[in-house]
Amino acid sequence: MTEQLSDLITTNNKLLEEFMVYLEVERNLSKHTLRAYTGDIEHFLYWLRDLSFADVNTNTIRLYFSQIQVFEYSKTTLARKIAALRTFFRFLYREKIVEYNPADVLRSPKKPKKLPSFLNEDEIEQIFELITPDNPSDARNRAILEVLYACGMRVSELCGLNFGNLNLEENEITVFGKGAKERIVLISERAKKYLNLYLKDFRKVYAVENEYINEKTPVFINSVGYRLNQRSVNKCLEKISEKVEIHKKISPHVFRHSFATKLLEKGADLRVVQELLGHASISNTQIYTHVSTERLKQAYTKAHPRAK
């Protein structure tokens, strides 16, 4: 390796490290997005080889995307890679490394609209009936599912709950969503009943000896007293899905979809649902209106004598 190439690689890697700090500190992006964007730029870096970022133009980037077509990436992945490059070169422009953003003119592929899977109220109740909260594990799992369905929170938000986030007297829970954005979600009386049952009667069985509960103490813990992780919640639902006779995917996110669909079907305002879900854009929430419309169409087709 020549000294010039070695210096270029060192410079490029340093810029990538600075970009990662920028994403984490200034943009406050989630860890998932941070990992994805970093991987996308590292892949682009490897493809560039001995070319400096300052020498990259729009044709270079177009050539890159034409060559990676052999990997048959989905439209969603390609859209993310384009977004990553746009963000990266915007950062380089701000740092005066490049004279313009060569990725700005790229158009993201249109993502196919996929209606989210959801469970109706009868299916939700079938799942709940399988979990009798008479032991620490089932009491915790029942509380988790009740909270997911009642609050519509993400599984990451649920696992991140601390005692300081709970204001059960006012039926409120503070959660931190994507980008550490804070919002308040509401909890139903029924979900609160099961959460209190777990907290008061069963959580102590798993807690570490002489645990001192403060505002940063995790609400949901595993069998050895540590914070419950997303993987454990997913496994819990996988086991339940094996027992229940519902031929649909059952996951924490499906509970979130079910929460939003139910609210809209009961007449909730779209903006209210957006706020409760923590969506940055209302366009993300609007997909649930399509779900509701689809159910209306199915009911109409099934019941109306002249529908067919």
Residues acting as catalytic residues: 154, 178, 253, 256, 279, 288
Residue 256 CB contacts under 8 Å (≥ 6 apart), including other chains: 148, 152, 153, 154, 277
Instruction: Write a three-state SS string for 176-195.
Output: ECHHHCEEEEECCHHHHHHH
Instruction: Say how far apart CA 305 and CA 302 lie, in whole Å.
Output: 8
Q: How far is CA 289 from CA 2, 112, 251, 283, 295, in A?
A: 59, 16, 21, 10, 10
Yes or no: say if 137 and 223 are a contact pair by the CB < 8 Å rule. Answer: yes
Nearest to 199 by CA among 233, 168, 154, 239: 168
